[in-house]
Structure 1
Amino acid sequence: MSDATILAGVLGLSSAIQLAREGHTVTVIARDLPGDFDIEYASPWAGSHFRPISANNASERFEQELMHETYDELKVTAERHPDSSVRFVRAVEYFDSPSPAYSDETLVKQNGYADWPDFRILDPSELPAGHDAIQLGVTYTGWVLNSPVYLAWLHRQAQGLGVRFIRARLAALEEAVFIHRESEGNHPRANIRAVINASGRGFQDPDSFPSRGQFILVSNPCSETISHHWADGSTTVIIPRPLGGGTVIGGTKEPNNWSHSISNAATETILTRAAKLCEQLVSGASNQDASGFDIKQVYIGRRPMRKGGLRLEEQTLEFQDTAEEDGLKTVSRSIPVVHCYGAGASGFKISWELGGGETSGASRGDDIV
């Protein structure tokens, strides 16, 4: 029997690898595969860096636990597979007006934000010059990766484990059953043990929505990842992309904005902010324009958001099938489905949330339901 994973974003590929490592036969069904670039295929556009969250409720504590699992897995990946592009670097965050959740005492003692390697609160003398509004700075060891390179690496890892890929556009989750059946010679009893729904925004989920993000890819180098949380609620991020990928600078967060048009005003604002945060950026590249940046690409990505955050739960999927006897009737069937979508900007940070992986020693042949 086969387990089918829907879509080939970072969650779908990571899930497929974990299941294959545990001895399952896995088929990935996706419209887009690593190497493709489409605004609806969110993973290749991601800046892809680690940034903690404060854990003030059960949902956030669960997400933080998943981040720890992924952090450990990526540490192994960085050591064993440098071609994956995963690197661990110094990370810095600045806060203009930190809420109580980000006060010094809370960060250190209460909500787990400080539970990461090399965490410390920056001395005021370490804050950027000319940024009087910054009230707090922290640093820790985080990871970065080159998302298109990493996705291609995951694809190769999955193929090496025997994962099969089918390129297809799905109108509904139920359609995965029939596409898989056709790939098996259209045998009515071609069995699927379970479906992993890693479809980004789900299928007709009213709680799911896109969040538009505008980013700039430059050749200018920055040796660390930097995040600045402004008093107006916006965030500037600077994320190096290893293996010659330049630096991603962002960005915007625009829920329910379906536009794919570039805003020149946003580009100018983002670059102006970034230059003040990392002086290395505007002094380390050739072919610079008047702003000091060597711009390679300005692009839009759509984060797969969901009210309530990640949906990670098991459910029974009921669907209609053609009766085998005479083909003139339909019969009701069911199959277990595990929903794993709606991670928003945290997809890479929680991508090894199902357990397994090189660090787990999972037994082979276990059922997944």
Structure 2
Amino acid sequence: MTRPSTPYRVNVLGAGVSGLSTALSLLEKDPSRYSVKVISTHLPGEFHVDYTSPWAGAHWRSYADIADKEQQALDAATYKRFVHLADNEPEAGIMYVTGYDYWEIKPKNFVDPWFNTLLKGYRYLNKDELPQGIQFGTTYITVTMNAPKYLQFLQKKFLALGGMLERATLASLKELARYPHDTQGNRPDIIVNCSGLGSRNLLGVHDHQMFPMRGQIVIVKVPDEIWPKAKQFTMERYAEGASMGTGTVTYVIPRDNGEIVLGGTMDRWSYAEAPEEETTKAIVQRVLATRPDLFKDATILRSCVGLRPNRHGGIRVTASVEQLDWNEGWDNPVAVVAHNYGHAGFGYQASYGCAQKTVANIEQSLQGLEQAHKTVRTMSKL
């Protein structure tokens, strides 16, 4: 398909990790082919319960099913991107760590996760390496992200490539399609919905498969003499019968600024914004029971709450050419409508892969968009 004489105008809704990753990926694909504007209620550097991405602990640990090759590919592409950034872009806030998965009771018929050949150093832990109360464990090399810092990194890269970022609260896909893309008031050719949990109530989407999974975390700091060891350690501890998303899961995720995220909770359908003191105490006690050598002298900095954008049926990453409203004076009544949302608590670990898939979906839709434009021009002459 030939490149248009002017770039395709793209409006992206949402400045979380999905929205910024998608917007940046479009410009990295070809900045002369796409003009991209991100529109969002909340922007990097801000903290609000409805703005999920800054609250994330954000370490890479894939939960793709052993048979789910598509999700595996999305997660693997993201991991490789993070490795590149860890090696070359210190501003990204990504660092290598040793990951540990602990099971209080070894799962029956345990199967190695699909990433056992992707991550370096994957192996079973020896008995003398297991904390008290743990029957079984694995270890591997992975990465963690300083989530607020990574969002600002994405924003900086996006703006440097000519991207536009604007604060606005939009209630519908129609508003996103009508929102001026540039100072001339031109409307977009492509709209991309990355509104996360907002997709439940966004008019034109109303995805009732979306629901909140409230997560409470505790941010701590360890003594300076402990930090060199603690910054190398990330873990997840599973209670009997638990896995990420069910039961009680305890996790530890260090950040490159010296903070350590302790978690967490999985409260389905809860919108409660305030941290609960008893939950904070319980999280800290579970972490202490696992690694007292690292956390017995930790100082609590704050407790935080975020709402994970869970979706029954998994993520939605799609694009199609859609007919807009002919009866409201639209001068361009067709557009590519793309979606990238529903990532639950795993938005970071698949963020780049899903952004790349969204770009590919948009690219595949452009021929249909051009054909629709030709049809509109023909009908306008009748």
What range is the shorter-chain TM-score in?
Answer: 0.7 to 0.9
The answer on 1:264 being equivalent to 2:277 is yes
Q: Which residue of 1 aligns with 2:95?
A: 87
* Correspondent of 1:240 among 250, 254, 259: 254
Q: Which residue of 1 aligns with 2:376?
A: none
The answer on 1:152 being equivalent to 2:155 is no
Q: Which residue of 2 aligns with 1:286?
A: none
Deviates more, 1:308-317 or 1:232-241: 308-317
Q: What is the CA-CA distance between 1:319 and the residue it aligns to?
A: 3.2
Q: 1-side partners of 2:174 and 2:124: how far apart?
A: 50
Q: What is the CA-CA distance between 1:43 and the residue it aligns to?
A: 0.3
Unaligned runs of at least 5 residues, structure 2: 1-7, 367-382
Q: 2-side partners of 1:322 and 1:163: how far apart?
A: 32
Give yes or no for contact 1:55–1:113 (8 Å, CA) kept in 2. Answer: no
The answer on 1:121 being equivalent to 2:124 is yes
Identity %: 28
Say which SS state the counterpart of residue 318 (structure 2) adopts: strand
Say which SS state the counterpart of residue 116 (structure 2) adopts: coil
Structure 1 residues 368 and 225 mapped into 2: Cα distance closer, same or farther (>3 Å)?
farther
Unaligned runs of at least 5 residues, structure 1: 284-291, 325-329
Q: What is the CA-CA distance between 1:273 and the residue it aligns to?
A: 0.8
Q: What is the CA-CA distance between 1:256 and the residue it aligns to?
A: 0.5
The answer on 1:275 being equivalent to 2:288 is yes
* Correspondent of 2:215 among 194, 213, 216: 213
Q: TM-score, normalised by structure 1?
A: 0.84
Q: What is the CA-CA distance between 1:62 and the residue it aligns to?
A: 1.8
Q: Which residue of 1 aligns with 2:10?
A: 3
Give yes or no for contact 2:214–2:272 (8 Å, CA) kept in 1. Answer: yes
Aligned-pair Cα RMSD in Å? 2.4
Deviates more, 1:262-271 or 1:341-350: 262-271
The answer on 1:199 being equivalent to 2:195 is yes
Q: What is the CA-CA distance between 1:191 and the residue it aligns to?
A: 4.5
Q: 1-side partners of 2:126 and 2:165: how far apart?
A: 51
CA offsets per residue over residues 186-234 of structure 1, 9 Å max, x none? 3xxx242322211112232110011101100011242310110111621
Q: 2-side partners of 1:206 and 1:355: how far apart?
A: 23
Give yes or no for contact 2:64–2:71 (8 Å, CA) kept in 1. Answer: no
Alignment of 1:345-360 (within 5 A): 345-354=345-354
Q: 2-side partners of 1:119 and 1:293: how far apart?
A: 29
Q: What is the CA-CA distance between 1:356 and the residue it aligns to?
A: 5.4
Q: 1-side partners of 2:39 and 2:16: how far apart?
A: 11
| Amino acid paired to 1:185 | Q
Structure 1 residues 30 and 321 mapped into 2: Cα distance closer, same or farther (>3 Å)?
farther
Give yes or no for contact 1:86–1:145 (8 Å, CA) kept in 2. Answer: yes
Q: 1-side partners of 2:261 and 2:279: how far apart?
A: 14
Moved over 4 A (4+): 321-324, 354-357, 366-369
Deviates more, 1:163-172 or 1:332-341: 332-341
| Amino acid paired to 2:301 | K
Structure 1 residues 196 and 13 mapped into 2: Cα distance closer, same or farther (>3 Å)?
same
| Amino acid paired to 1:117 | K
Between the two proteins, the alignment pairs up a number of residues equal to 335
Give yes or no for contact 1:54–1:113 (8 Å, CA) kept in 2. Answer: no
Q: What is the CA-CA distance between 1:37 and the residue it aligns to?
A: 0.7
Q: TM-score, normalised by structure 2?
A: 0.82
Higher helix proportion, which one? 2
The answer on 1:20 being equivalent to 2:19 is no
